[in-house]
Structure 1
């Protein structure tokens, strides 16, 4: 997948330097919290140094009036 998606970094479930660890953690989180398939995302930050886990429901689709601290992430895997 090569699409960019915006999230507030504070909504991250976890931050990892190892891709495989991020995917395993996302799978465990999905199972433990009974989240539907594809709703937990492992994303790579634009800086390409780390992987974060977000819930798809936390995607930011527009700027709010007060501004926000959203950042662009590249989707690596939907879990």
Structure 2
């Protein structure tokens, strides 16, 4: 597990789930469908515990948005 925290705008999420395995499976499907789309991250919302899938380049440098804990990168 990675200890990296990052901020995302929740509206930028590609998909979300309460289950990590389901989120990872969704991310794998997205990545297989569009292999040139860029790196995906599976992030866990620091408050709600929900997992969301984001394009890595959608991370916010200004710490505005919602704090997420990076769980996996594809």
Classify the TM-score, shorter chain: 0.7 to 0.9
Partner of 1:62: 62
Partner of 1:41: 41
Residue 20 of structure 1, CA deviation: 0.2
Report the number of matched residues: 73
**So what's the TM-score if we normalise by structure 2?**
0.88
**So what's the TM-score if we normalise by structure 1?**
0.83
Partner of 2:51: 51
**Aligned structure 1 segments of 4 or more residues deviating by more than 4 angstroms:** none
> Which structure has the bigger radius of gyration?
1
Counterpart mapping for 1:25-36 below 5 A:
25-35=26-36
Unaligned runs of 5+ residues in structure 1 are none
Residue 31 of structure 1, CA deviation: 1.2
Partner of 1:75: 70
Unaligned runs of 5+ residues in structure 2 are none
What are the superposed Cα offsets for residues 21-74 of structure 1, whole Å, 9 maximum, x if unpaired?
00010011011011467x1000000125210000001111126xxxx5x11100
User: Secondary structure in 2 aligned to 1:73?
Assistant: strand
